[in-house]
Chain A
Amino acid sequence: MTSESTIHLSDEALNDVLIGMGSSASESHLAACPLCRGKVEEFQSDLGAWNLTTLKWTEARAERAGRIQARLSGIRPARRRPPLAALGWALAVAALLAIAIPVGRESGMFGTNHGTTVASQEDSEAQIAQDNELLKAVNAAINPDEMSPLKEYDLFGRPHPRHRHRPQ
């Protein structure tokens, strides 16, 4: 780099000018040299057009899709919601419960707690049996060729040695 107008700015000096870290010598050279100034202005102009275009493109994309707005629109500080709206909801729920509970009792809609417990117990036993079946199937699938030790030594159906000749 030099400040003489006959020798133009080096690439490094030009880069420094473009990133806003140009030396005073570079700045004074630019003031005097239309060629180097033209290079800087052309780059800045291209960059400006690119920035404008890309910003318009992303604005259009964000607007067209409306995804960002839609996804974030559900997230708002709770305190920004008018307090009367929350109170209204609470009153509506209370009124609904006040009507629904007596009606439900009269019509026998709500069963006893005992019945519910038995049903859930039965469900859970059925579920346990089903889970056991599933585990057996998984075991069989994992080791299909492995023989059970009971089968291998033919222990099925044999009486236990201690029980063979038990005196009557």
Chain B
Amino acid sequence: MGAYASSEFIDMVPRSRVEWRCARRARAIGELDDIDGLVKNYSARILRFVTYSTGDPDLAETITQDTLLKAWMGRENFRGDCSVKTWLTGIAINVTRDHLRSAKFKFWRQTRSTALDVQDLAAFLPAEGSSPERQMLAREKVRELSQAVEGLSPNQRTVFLMKFVEEMPVAEISQVLGMPVNTVRTHLHRALSSVRSRMGAKL
């Protein structure tokens, strides 16, 4: 089977799709060009993702900063075949991996506690006029879910966060992580089983 030359290949793709991708890429690069907007729109989401990936809010801030900086500096490399959010998540995963591999991180992990303060977290639960009992129950669930997510293995936690926090489709998770769809599915199954059992098997 002969390989297609790039121009032939482009001709095979419907013109409207190519144009749509180019337009999306141009829009995204415009969005990525504005570093203030990037920080404003995505820093909290990335910070949350990385905080739960590493279990260390302070390290997560550094990784979030590195991720946004890397994205901004490499914005010309964005191909436009996924959303900016997905692209940033992919960068965050790589930056997190680099940090977790570093000897410096291993040293600090041994010498200090990195656990998230779930009591601090529960204080941010919106009250919305519910009764104190319901609020207490909701706080308890948030606390349980946080602990359940923290208890997952790194792979399970990453796919869980990508699916249920970043709301990415399984195919996109597979693409970003370079994992077969079935592997992602298996990690998600294990993660869900673990989370559900830690939450008292209510599901």
A contact set with B: CB distance below 8 Å:
11-12, 14-16, 18-21, 39-40, 42-43, 46-47, 49-62, 65, 67-69, 71-73, 75-77
Contact = CB atoms under 8 A, between A and B. Distances in A.
23 contacts: A14-B203, A15-B188, A15-B192, A19-B188, A20-B169, A42-B202, A42-B203, A46-B199, A47-B145, A49-B141, A49-B142, A53-B122, A53-B126, A54-B121, A54-B124, A55-B44, A58-B44, A60-B124, A67-B65, A72-B65, A72-B68, A76-B35, A77-B35
Interface of B: 33, 35-36, 39, 43-45, 47-48, 51-52, 57, 61, 64-65, 68-69, 72, 120-122, 124-126, 138, 141-142, 145-146, 163-165, 169-170, 185, 188-189, 192-193, 196, 199, 202-203
Contacts of B126: 52-53, 56
Interface residues of chain B: helix, strand, loop or mixed (majority): helix
Contact of B33 (A21, A67, A77): A77
Given A50-B141, A50-B146, A54-B146, 14 more contacts: A15-B188, A19-B163, A19-B185, A20-B170, A39-B203, A42-B203, A54-B121, A55-B44, A55-B48, A58-B51, A62-B61, A68-B39, A72-B68, A77-B35
B135 to A, nearest CB: 11
B33, B142, B165, B199 interface centre (most CB from chain A within 10 Å): B142
Contact of A47 (B33, B47, B57, B164): B164
Contacts of A57: 48, 120-121, 124
A69 B164 contact: no
A159 B134 CA distance: 101
Interface residues of chain A: helix, strand, loop or mixed (majority): helix
Contacts of B141: 46, 49-50
A37 B138 CA distance: 20
Contact of A67 (B51, B61, B121, B170): B61
A151 B52 CA distance: 67
Nearest to B72: A75
Contacts of B61: 61-62, 65, 67-68
Nearest to B184: A19
A19 B170 contact: yes
A128 B164 CA distance: 65
B100 to A, nearest CB: 19
Contacts of A54: 48, 51-52, 121, 124, 146, 165
A107 B167 CA distance: 71
Contacts of A40: 203
Contacts of A15: 188-189, 192-193
Contacts of A71: 65
A47 B47 CA distance: 18
Contacts of A73: 36
